[in-house]
């Protein structure tokens, strides 16, 4: 429902009368609703909001305003796919009449708040003043002033912004105002005011504006290392850095060695166009070498065209060319390394990085001689990554005894991990060697663990996650206390309004002031709201971590059930995938551009929708969970069908793409499923599949299914 301004004026009169009779009460918890999902603990990074004293906040400007979502869901009701999930009850112990009055009050406050924010951005200055009095007890009241300042950022003074930050230290977006003001001052070229308000920032654009301000006010280039640090990166910097760089290059502070160093960084980072551009800043006697470097970068097979002796700059080019050759043609690089080492008299420190790179490339591409180069690059057996690749190479080659021997040679700390304990016992099974008694005991012990290697040790037998010790349900009084925390109250309001980004900001901020036990209370509270992503985030930060009800919810169960039945796809697989992809976050966006609860790329959505006659109006549709689940489930079913019903291959394809997965299927000899998973060359995809399998097992129990679980005796046959 969207209220026009005229309608709003009529409703306002009624609301005023009602609000005289009703005093807004603190927000309490709603009746329990279906859970919604999230990621495992290891995927939760450090919290982005740092608790600072108010005076420190004024000096902290590293939060870029682009991190703030500009579009607001101004609708009065939650999105249609959430409307039926919110009962808006405040306390199940309160009588029905009382609940109704409180909820009517809150509903009117939400209407007034959203209409007020719209009025602010339409230029209406009267409504915010009227609303402030009526919303004096509403949790989102400070956001009215925030939006007033934000909407007129060009006119407000730094003093007004500082005052807002100091008086609202618990509003996560408050600090964005300072950053926005600095950008406003810079774009208006008000350099004196910019310098007076600026404080050190990690934002590159702001740092360059700071240097611009110094240049324009002092009429000279800064002598600090700040400009050099901005310059010496292997990628292009923002356009607003150019005036500073140009003045610095023309000053006495610039040295041509800086141009060469950045040229090398650009080639190392895969930016030959930037490297070519930088040649003009080199002395004439270095330009020829630099042009040769560009040519060798593009045609590394010509590396032998370098002379017999090399100066330092030629050596720089040589190492880049050899690294490129290893990437493009590892076979030829392997043949040349020893010859080039002798020709150019390379010492061990110069050649070992290339040996290591070659070993890794050969191993992850399943190419011959991988084992030979892994032994050369890791002769002391001290590198854990190379040790792992060496074992995986033997597993991929079906050399069980050799793999077992390599596992036994691992450092004790690594050997005691669940992964290598599993493979130590499993390789003995595969080699059909009479295993020591403790080998079977190892698998039996692992089978009791609720992790991936426990899942593999069970080999198709269902674990009973319901038997894992769960925390005792928290009392209503504990929930009531937590629900009164201001950031928790604001998170709930934004959740109801469908403003998920703001809800997550407030929720993260709230978690900082709660201890691990209180976070578990908050997780239950969010579950009661029907806020699965918030519930999971809190539960993953809580103690203990075994509460699978909170960490593995079944959010959007109606939509999942509907499209699982329609596409004949297993529900537990869909739930597992949603949890891993987005923590049940409807507006999730990845750096690569994937959108929504099942993290679908817009081009994929367009293709799947067209093929299956699904209505699709563009990428914004993917932020609607129902539409996202419809398209995502259809795509998942296509992948399962493409790989002959093998859900594990489909999982890998959902993450890495079907074309890559097809290359990873053995071409000559079948592989046991657990070996195939352990030897997936992409670490991200390998871990993704492991997480999905354990998630799927948990959801299988939660759904009460008796269908066969994944058996790791299954063989992945040659393509």
Alpha-carbon dihedral sign for residues 334, 335, 338, 343: negative
Q: One of 356, 581, 678, 701 is an active-site residue; which one? A: 581
Q: Is 581 annotated in the active site?
A: yes
Residue spans of beta strands (DSSP E) within 148-248: none
Helices (H), 484-621: 486-497, 500-512, 516-529, 532-540, 548-551, 557-567, 571-582, 602-611
**Contact criterion met (CB below 8 Å) for 218 and 247:** no
Give dist(CA 301, CA 623) in Å, integer.
Answer: 47
Q: Give the C-alpha separation, 345 to 194, whole Å.
A: 55
Q: Is the peptide bond before 98 cis (omega within 30 degrees of 0)?
A: no
What stretches of 232-316 adopt beta strand conformation (E)?
A: none
Return all residues near 489 (Cβ < 8 A) that are at least 6 apart: 26, 27, 139, 483
Q: Closest by alpha carbon to 78, among 108, 102, 110?
A: 110
Residue 8 has phi, psi (to 5 degrees) of -60, -40
Give the tokens for residue 650.
């489909």
Measure Cα distances from 505 to 29, 150, 214, 285, 512 in Å.
20, 17, 34, 55, 11
Distance CA 272, CA 289 (A): 14
Residues 6+ apart with CB under 8 A from 457: 422, 443, 444, 446, 447, 449
Sign of CA dihedral 16, 17, 20, 23: negative
At 715, give phi and psi (nearest 5°): -105, 140
Give the list of residues 6+ apart from residue 648 with CB closer than 8 angstroms, or none.
673, 676, 677, 689, 693, 710
Which is nearest to 684 in space by CA: 656, 661, 662?
656
Residue 407, token pair as written in the block: 């596992």
Nearest Cα neighbor of 503 from 481, 535, 474 is 535
Cα–Cα distance measured from residue 625 to residue 493, given in angstroms and rounded to the nearest whole number: 20
Length of the chain: 719
Cα–Cα distance measured from residue 609 to residue 456, given in angstroms and rounded to the nearest whole number: 36
Active-site residue set: 581
């Amino acid at each position: 429902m969207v209220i026009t301004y005229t309608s709003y004026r009529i409703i306002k009169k009624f609301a005023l009368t009602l609000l005289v009779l009703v005093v807004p009460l603190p927000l309490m918890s709603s009746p329990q609703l279906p859970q919604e999902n999230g990621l495992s603990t290891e995927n939760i990074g450090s919290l982005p909001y740092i608790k600072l004293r108010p005076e420190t906040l004024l000096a902290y400007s590293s939060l870029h305003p682009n991190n703030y979502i500009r579009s607001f869901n101004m609708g009065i009701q939650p999105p249609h796919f959430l409307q039926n999930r919110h009962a808006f009850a405040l306390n199940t112990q309160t009588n029905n009449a009382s609940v109704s009055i409180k909820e009517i009050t809150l509903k009117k406050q939400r209407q007034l708040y959203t209409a007020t924010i719209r009025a602010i951005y339409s230029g209406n200055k009267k409504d915010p003043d009227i609303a402030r009095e009526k919303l004096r007890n509403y949790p989102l009241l400070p956001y009215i002033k925030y939006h007033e300042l934000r909407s007129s950022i060009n006119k407000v003074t730094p003093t007004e912004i500082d005052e807002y930050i100091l008086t609202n230290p618990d509003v996560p977006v408050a600090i964005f105002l300072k950053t926005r003001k600095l950008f406003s001052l810079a774009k208006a070229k008000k350099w004196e005011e910019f310098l007076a308000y600026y404080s050190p920032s990690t934002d590159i654009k702001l740092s360059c504006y700071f240097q611009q301000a110094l240049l324009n006010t002092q009429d000279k280039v800064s002598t600090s290392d700040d400009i050099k640090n901005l310059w010496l990166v292997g990628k292009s910097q923002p356009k607003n850095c150019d005036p500073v760089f140009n003045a610095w290059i023309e000053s006495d502070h610039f040295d041509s060695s800086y141009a060469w160093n950045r040229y090398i960084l650009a080639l190392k980072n895969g930016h030959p166009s930037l490297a070519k551009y930088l040649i003009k800043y080199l002395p004439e006697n270095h330009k020829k070498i630099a042009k040769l470097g560009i040519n060798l970068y593009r045609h590394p097979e010509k590396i032998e065209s370098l002379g017999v002796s090399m100066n330092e700059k030629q050596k720089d080019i040589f190492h880049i060319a050899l690294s490129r050759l290893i990437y493009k043609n590892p076979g030829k690089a392997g043949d040349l390394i020893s010859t080039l080492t002798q020709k150019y008299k390379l010492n061990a420190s110069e050649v070992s990085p290339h040996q290591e790179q070659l070993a890794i490339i050969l191993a992850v591409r399943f190419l011959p001689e991988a084992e030979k180069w892994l032994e050369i690059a890791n002769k002391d057996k001290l590198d854990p990554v190379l040790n792992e690749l060496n074992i995986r190479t033997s597993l991929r080659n079906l050399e069980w005894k050799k793999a077992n021997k390599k596992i036994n040679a691992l450092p004790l700390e690594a050997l005691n991990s669940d992964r290598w304990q599993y493979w130590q016992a499993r390789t003995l099974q595969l080699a059909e060697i009479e295993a020591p008694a403790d080998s079977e005991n190892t698998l039996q012990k692992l089978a009791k663990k609720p992790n991936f290697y426990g899942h593999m040790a069970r080999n198709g037998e269902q674990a009973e996650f319901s038997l894992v010790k769960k925390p005792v349900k928290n009392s209503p009084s504990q929930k009531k206390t937590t629900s009164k925390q201001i950031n928790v109250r604001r998170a709930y309001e934004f959740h109801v309004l469908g403003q998920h980004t703001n809800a997550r900001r407030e929720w993260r901020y709230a978690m900082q002031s709660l201890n691990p036990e209180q976070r578990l209370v908050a997780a239950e509270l969010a579950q009661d709201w029907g806020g699965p992503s918030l519930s999971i985030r809190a539960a993953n930060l809580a103690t203990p971590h075994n509460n699978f009800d909170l960490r593995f919810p079944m959010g959007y169960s109606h939509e999942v059930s509907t499209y699982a039945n329609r596409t004949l796809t297993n529900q537990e697989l869909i739930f597992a995938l949603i949890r891993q992809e987005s923590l049940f976050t409807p507006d999730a966006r990845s750096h690569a551009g994937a959108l929504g609860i099942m993290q679908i790329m817009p081009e994929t959505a367009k293709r799947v929708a067209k093929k299956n006659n699904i209505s699709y109006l563009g990428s914004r549709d993917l932020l609607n969970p129902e539409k996202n689940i419809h398209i995502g489930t259809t795509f998942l079913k296509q992948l399962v069908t493409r790989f002959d019903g093998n859900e594990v291959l489909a999982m890998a394809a959902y993450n890495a793409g079907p074309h890559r997965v097809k290359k990873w299927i053995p071409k000559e000899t079948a592989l046991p499923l657990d070996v195939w998973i352990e030897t997936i060359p992409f670490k991200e995809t390998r871990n993704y599949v492991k997480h999905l399998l354990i998630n799927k097992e948990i959801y299988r129990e939660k759904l009460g299914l008796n269908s066969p679980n994944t058996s790791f005796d299954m063989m992945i046959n040659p393509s």
